[in-house]
Structure 1
Amino acid sequence: MSGETREAGPVTSTVGDTGADPDAPGTAGTADAGSGGDGGRLPAGTGDGARRPHSDRPALIAIAGFLVLCLGFVLFGVMRGGDEDKAEPEVPTAPVTYEVTGEGTVDLSYQGASEQGTAETESGVRLPWKKTVEVPLGQDPVIRITLDEQGGQARCAVAVRGRHVQSATAGGEFGRATCSASLPAPAPEPSG
Structure 2
Amino acid sequence: MSSETREAGPSTSTAERAEADADAPETAGTADADAGNDAGGEDGKTHPDRTVLIAAVGFLVLCLGVVLFGVLRGGDEDRAEPKAPTASVTYEVTGEGTVDLSYQGASEQGTAETVSGARLPWKKTVEVPLGENPVIRITLGEQGGQARCAVAVRGRHVQSATAAGEFGRATCSAPLPAPAPEASG
TM-score w.r.t. the length of structure 1 is 0.63
Is 1:110–1:144's contact at 8 Å kept on the other side of the alignment? yes
- Write the distance in 1 (CA, Å) between the matches of 2:62 and 2:102: 53
Partner AA of 2:132 in structure 1: Q
For 1:122 and 1:65, locate their aligned partners in 2 and report how far apart those are by CA, in whole Å.
Answer: 55
Q: State whether residues 136 and 149 of structure 2, in contact with CA within 8 Å, keep that contact through their aligned partners in structure 1.
A: yes
- The answer for unaligned runs of 5 or more in structure 2 is 9-19
1:59 matched residue in structure 2:
52
**Structure 1 gaps, min length 5:** 1-30
Q: Mapping of 1:20-99 within 5 angstroms? A: 36=24, 38-42=26-30, 48-49=35-36, 51=40, 55=47, 56-79=49-72, 82-99=75-92
1:144 corresponds to = 137
Partner AA of 1:58 in structure 2: T
1:107 counterpart = 2:95: no
Matched, 1:170 2:158: no
* Deviation for aligned residue 1:97: 2.7
48-57 vs 124-133, which moves further: 48-57
2:152 matched to 1:159?
yes
Say yes or no: does 1:116 pair with 2:104: no
1:97 is matched by which residue type in structure 2?
T
CA displacement, residues 59-102 of structure 1 (integer Å, 9 cap, x when unaligned): 33222222222333344445556444334433322122323334
Q: Deviations over 1:109-143 (max 9, x none)?
A: 21234321133333333444444333221322111
* CA RMSD of superposed structures (Å): 3.4
Name the SS of the counterpart of 1:186 in structure 2.
coil
Against the structure 1 CA distance between its residues 126 and 61, is the aligned structure 2 distance closer, same or farther, given a 3 Å change threshold?
A: closer
- Distance, in Å, in 1 between the alignment partners of 2:136 and 2:97 is 17
The Cα of 1:155 is off from its aligned counterpart by 2.9
SS in 1 for 2:57: helix
Match of 1:185 in 2: 178
Q: Is the 8 A contact 2:149 2:160 kept in 1?
A: yes
- Partner SS for 2:63: helix
SS in 1 for 2:52: helix
Counterpart CA distance in 1 for 2:92 and 2:51 is 73
Distance in 2 (CA, whole Å) between partners of 1:185 and 1:79 is: 35
